[in-house]
């Protein structure tokens, strides 16, 4: 049996086991192990699994994952989310859909100190949703705004999405994180535009918030963003200038937020326990996914499928941008069934060599890939942010939350198109980095 045929059978088995409900991390490791065994020997396959599990768990740069998650936990404990929301509410409440605009702005701010989109959706759901309902915002708009705003934590650094992409493709995590700053701002603006357009078309979605805020009160409210700005500039500024690496930045960011929590006297045993549990849960999940993807990648490399597919696509007489559009379409389809990280580990072993063969910049494609992962967080029927909000707003049907999230997919597509036309938006800042 030829290596390519073994590879095709392996890929088919992955799809079958996925449909049957086997966890992705284990099914990729399972198929990868048996594929390597088939193409080589049992003596060669067994050490690959053991070595991969050990190396992924003990690799120093991978400690960035729990540190970024811990940053988000401490940021929530410090009450940063509420302070951001209150600040932006005072500045934007007079705009059409002002509370929705404030929610997007607060989500973008929270994303600057948290790498977890689900945590962002949960935190903003508990703070912004009651306020919007108080002023009779339509549940569809209110929940859609929060679900979409939460996805910004997957793009704006510190971002777990870029960390996983960098681990799987061996690209600079520091440059990937910095590459998300301008696109993250761009997507935040696009989300705000979507909110305003919806309210302009149908004013009943968001009744105007009563009362105006004096300029003096607006200026005073800016004190609510100093912690976010401080931590963001320490973490991202240190990476950008080359003073610290991403792992060190995560440690410094988590320490800075812990100090803020202590200064504000908000550290409780329950809050600390919840932050550590969330850090452990997400870190273990991601590391198992990366381990499974690594074993499966070894199998694919032996089967020569990535090389064959790359050479075949590179030889097609069609535009590389058409192929990129097909890849984006595949990600949108997968987003209906898989969570963001699972999509990455499942597709990148095959798609990344194709992207490189088509001469797309790997850092730029990382931004586009993360954008597509964001779409998966709010795409029915498996949008994790939507499920998170459904657990908070138990009286709002999940279908209604999905309907509220769909318009924001337009913003994600628009930003992906803009980045394709103007790739420098993603590559400008990484190109100026100190190292």
Three-state SS at 242: coil
State the pLDDT at residue 210.
67
198 near 205, Cβ under 8 Å? yes
The pLDDT value given to residue 314: 67
Spatial contact of 49 and 29, defined as CB atoms under 8 Å apart: yes
| Cβ-contact 343, 373 below 8 angstroms | yes
Segment 144-196, tens digit of pLDDT: 999 999 889 889 988 888 988 998 888 988 999 999 999 999 999 999 999 99
Whether the Cβ atoms of residue 106 and residue 84 lie closer than 8 Å to each other: yes
pLDDT above 70: percentage of residues in the chain: 98
Q: Is the pLDDT of residue 435 over 70?
A: no
Structure tokens at 364: 């730029």
Whole-angstrom distance, CA of residue 156 vs CA of residue 332: 20
Q: CB within 8 A of 49, min separation 6: which ones? A: 29, 32, 33, 295
Calpha distance 265→260 (Å, rounded)? 8
Burial label, 265 (beta-carbon count in 10 A; 0-12, 13-18, 19+): exposed
Query: Alpha-carbon distance 356 to 360, whole Å?
Result: 6
Task: Note the pLDDT of residue 82.
Answer: 84
Query: Span 47-75, mean pLDDT?
Result: 84
- Report the pLDDT averaged over residues 336-347: 78
Q: Which of residues 230 and 388 earns the better pLDDT score?
A: 230
**Among residues of the chain, what percentage have pLDDT more than 90?**
20
Q: Is the pLDDT of residue 434 over 60?
A: no
Q: pLDDT for 198-216, tens place per residue?
A: 999 998 888 877 667 777 8
Mean pLDDT estimate for the chain: 86
Contact criterion met (CB below 8 Å) for 396 and 139:
yes
3-class DSSP state for residue 297? helix
For the stretch 222-249, pLDDT in tens is 887 888 888 889 888 888 888 888 888 8
Contact by Cβ (8 Å): 281, 288: no
């Amino acid at each position: 049996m030829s290596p390519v045929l073994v590879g095709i059978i392996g890929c088919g088995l992955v799809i079958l086991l996925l449909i049957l409900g086997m966890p992705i991390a284990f099914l990729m490791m399972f198929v990868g192990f048996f594929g390597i065994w088939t193409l080589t020997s049992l003596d060669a396959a067994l050490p690959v699994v053991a070595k991969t599990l050990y190396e992924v768990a003990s690799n120093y740069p991978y400690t960035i994952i729990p540190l970024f998650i811990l940053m988000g936990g401490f940021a929530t404990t410090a009450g940063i989310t509420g302070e951001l929301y209150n600040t932006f509410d005072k500045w934007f409440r007079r705009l059409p859909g002002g509370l929705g605009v404030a929610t997007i702005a607060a989500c973008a701010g929270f994303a600057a100190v948290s790498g977890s989109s689900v945590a962002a959706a949960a935190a903003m759901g508990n703070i912004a949703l009651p306020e919007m309902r108080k002023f009779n915002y339509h549940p569809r708009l209110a929940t859609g705004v929060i679900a979409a705003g939460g996805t910004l934590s997957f793009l704006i650094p510190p971002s777990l999405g870029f960390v996983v992409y960098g681990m799987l493709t061996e690209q600079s995590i520091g440059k990937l994180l910095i590459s998300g700053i301008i696109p993250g701002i761009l997507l935040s603006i696009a989300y705000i535009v979507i909110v305003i357009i919806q309210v302009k078309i149908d004013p009943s979605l968001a009744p105007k918030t009563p009362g105006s805020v004096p300029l003096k009160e607006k200026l005073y409210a800016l004190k609510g963003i100093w912690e976010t700005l401080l931590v963001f500039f320490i973490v991202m500024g240190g990476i950008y200038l080359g003073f610290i690496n991403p792992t060190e930045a995560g440690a410094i960011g988590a320490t800075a937020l812990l100090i803020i929590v202590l200064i504000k006297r908000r550290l409780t045993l329950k809050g600390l326990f919840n932050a550590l549990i969330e850090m452990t849960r997400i870190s273990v999940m991601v590391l198992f996914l990366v381990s499974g993807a690594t074993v499966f990648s070894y199998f694919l490399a032996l089967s020569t499928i990535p090389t064959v597919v790359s050479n075949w696509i590179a030889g097609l007489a069609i535009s590389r941008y058409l192929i990129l559009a097909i890849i984006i379409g595949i990600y949108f389809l997968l987003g209906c069934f898989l969570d963001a990280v699972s999509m990455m580990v499942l597709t990148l072993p095959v798609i990344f060599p194709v992207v490189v063969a088509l001469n797309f910049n790997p850092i730029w494609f990382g931004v586009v890939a993360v954008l597509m992962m964001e779409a998966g967080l709010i795409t029915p029927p498996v949008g994790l942010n939507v499920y998170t909000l459904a657990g908070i707003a138990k009286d709002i049907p999940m279908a209604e939350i999905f309907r509220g999230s769909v318009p924001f997919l337009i913003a994600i597509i628009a930003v992906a198109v803009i980045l394709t036309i103007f790739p420098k938006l993603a590559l400008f800042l990484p190109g100026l980095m100190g190292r």
